[in-house]
Structure 1
Amino acid sequence: MNEVVHAACGRHLLLDAHGIAPERLSDAAGIEEVLRGAAAAAGATALFAHFHAFGVGQGVTGVLLLMESHISIHTWPEHGYAALDIFMCGHARPERAAEHLLAALAPTSHALRDVARGLDTVSGQ
Structure 2
Amino acid sequence: MNALGRHILAEIYGCDAEILNDRENIERIMVESALRAGAEVREVAFHKFSPQGVSGVVIISESHLTIHTWPELGYAAVDVFTCGNDVNPWDACNFLTSMLNAKHMTATEVKRGIFEQPVKVANL
Is TM-score (shorter-chain normalized) higher than 0.5?
A: yes
1:41 is aligned to 36
CA root-mean-square deviation = 1.2
In the superposition, the TM-score normalised over structure 2's length comes to 0.89
| 1:68 pairs with one of 59, 62, 66 | 62
Please, which runs of 5 or more residues in structure 2 have no aligned partner?
118-124
- Where has structure 1 moved over 3 Å in runs of 4 or more? none
Determine which structure has more spread, i.e. the larger CA radius of gyration: 1
2:107 is aligned to 112
In the superposition, the TM-score normalised over structure 1's length comes to 0.88
What is the percent sequence identity of the aligned residues?
Answer: 41
Matches within 5 A, 1:1-125: 5=1, 7-56=2-51, 58-90=52-84, 91-121=86-116
- Cα drift, residue 79 of structure 1: 0.6
- Cα drift, residue 55 of structure 1: 2.6
CA distance in 2, matches of 1:46, 1:28: 18
Please, which runs of 5 or more residues in structure 1 have no aligned partner?
none
